[in-house]
Amino acid sequence: MDRLLTVDEAAEVLGTTSRFPRRLIAERRIRFVKVGRHVRIPSSVLAAFIADSTVEPMEIRWHGGQVVR
């Protein structure tokens, strides 16, 4: 079973304030677990969110003053 992170712990992993993970939860953009009145985010869900949000670099080449892909 995954470790369940608090909103504050998730924010620390993301490097944001706790408001951002709370917004992700409110907008249903991330899976979460309700434990009574507490909200927890599985660590694997947070890792998947980070992986899905990662933008890979592109190689850009110039030819004749224009970008060629």
Residue range 16-33: mean pLDDT, rounded: 97
For residue 33 the two structure tokens come to 């677990």
pLDDT at 63: 82
pLDDT tens-digit profile of 38-51? Answer: 999 999 999 999 99
Q: Is the pLDDT of residue 60 over 90?
A: no
Burial grade of 6 (CB within 10 A; 0-12, 13-18, 19 or more): middle
